Amino acid sequence: MTNVGVILVISLLLVMDIMTVVISLVQKGMRGVTSAFFALSVCVIGWLLSDLTYQAATNPDAIMFLLNLKFSFVAFCPVALVVLTLRFYRLDRFVTRRLKVLLSIVPCITTVLALTSLLHPLMRSHQVLVAIQPLHIVDQSQGVWFWVHAAYCYALTLFSAGVVIAQHKKLPSGYRASSVVLLLAMGINLVANALSIMVFSDFGMDFSLLGMGGMLVFIYLAVATSSKTDLLEIARDEIFNYLQEYVFILDLQQQVLEANHTGRQWLSRLGIQPNFPFPLARVFDALRERGATIRENAEQDAGTDIYYSHNDRGVVYNMTERFVVDKKGRPMGVYTTLVDITRYKQVIDQLEKAVDIDPLTGLANRRAYENLMQFFDDQKTTPLCIVLGDANGLKRVNDTLGHQQGDVLLRLLAQQMKHCCPRLGTVARIGGDEFAVLMPGGNAEDARQLVQCVETALAEQKDYPFTPSIALGWAERRVTHDGPEAVENTVYRADIEMYRNKENDRRRRR
Q: Where does the pLDDT of residue 31 fall: very low under 50, low under 70, confident under 90, or very high at 90 and above?
A: very low
C-beta of residue 447 within 8 angstroms of C-beta of residue 439: yes
Q: What is the pLDDT of residue 206?
A: 76
Two domains, one topology: 3-231 and 243-340: no
Helix pair 207-224, 177-198: axis angle to 10 deg:
180
The secondary structure element, H or E, covering residue 271 is: none
CATH code of the domain made up of 243-340: 3.30.450.20
Give the domain 3-231 fold.
Rhopdopsin 7-helix transmembrane proteins (1.20.1070)
Q: Class assignment of domain 358-509?
A: alpha beta
Model confidence at 503: pLDDT above 50? yes
C-beta of residue 385 within 8 angstroms of C-beta of residue 484: no
Alpha carbon separation from 8 to 3, 14, 207, 259 (Å, rounded)? 9, 10, 14, 53
> Which sign, positive or negative, has the C-alpha torsion 13, 19, 24, 25?
positive
Model confidence at 32: pLDDT above 70? no
Most confident segment among 132-141, 259-268, 429-438 = 429-438
Helical segments of 3-96, H only:
3-28, 32-56, 60-88
- Residue range 238-268, pLDDT digits in tens: 667 777 788 999 999 999 988 988 889 889 9
Q: Where does the pLDDT of residue 491 fall: very low under 50, low under 70, confident under 90, or very high at 90 and above?
A: very high
Q: Which residues pair with 429 in a beta bridge?
A: 435
By the 10 Å C-beta count (0-12 exposed, 13-18 middle, 19+ buried), 303 is classed as: buried
Q: What is the pLDDT of residue 30?
A: 43
C-beta of residue 71 within 8 angstroms of C-beta of residue 149: yes
Q: Give the chain's end-to-end CA distance (angstroms, integer).
A: 86
Question: Is the model's pTM score more than 0.85?
Answer: no
C-beta of residue 290 within 8 angstroms of C-beta of residue 270: yes
Distance CA 76, CA 287 (A): 46
Average pLDDT over the chain reads: 84
What are the residues whose beta carbons fall under 8 Å from the beta carbon of 331, sequence distance 6 or more? 252, 323, 324, 325
Q: What is the pLDDT of residue 282?
A: 92
Task: Break the chain into its structural domains and give their ranges.
Answer: 3-231, 243-340, 358-509
Beta sheet of 384-391, edge-to-edge order: 426-429, 434-440, 384-391, 470-476
Q: Where does the pLDDT of residue 234 fall: very low under 50, low under 70, confident under 90, or very high at 90 and above?
A: low
Model confidence at 350: pLDDT above 80? no
Of 371, 368, 369, the C-alpha closest to 379 is 371
- Residue range 11-29, pLDDT digits in tens: 998 898 888 888 877 765 4
> Which sign, positive or negative, has the C-alpha torsion 36, 39, 44, 45?
positive
Alpha carbon separation from 243 to 236, 329, 380, 384 (Å, rounded)? 11, 26, 14, 14
Q: Dihedral angle at the C-alpha atoms of 103, 106, 107, 111, nearest 10 degrees?
A: 160
Contacts by residues 260-267 (CB-CB < 8 Å, ≥ 24 positions apart): 263/338, 266/338
Model confidence at 200: pLDDT above 70? no
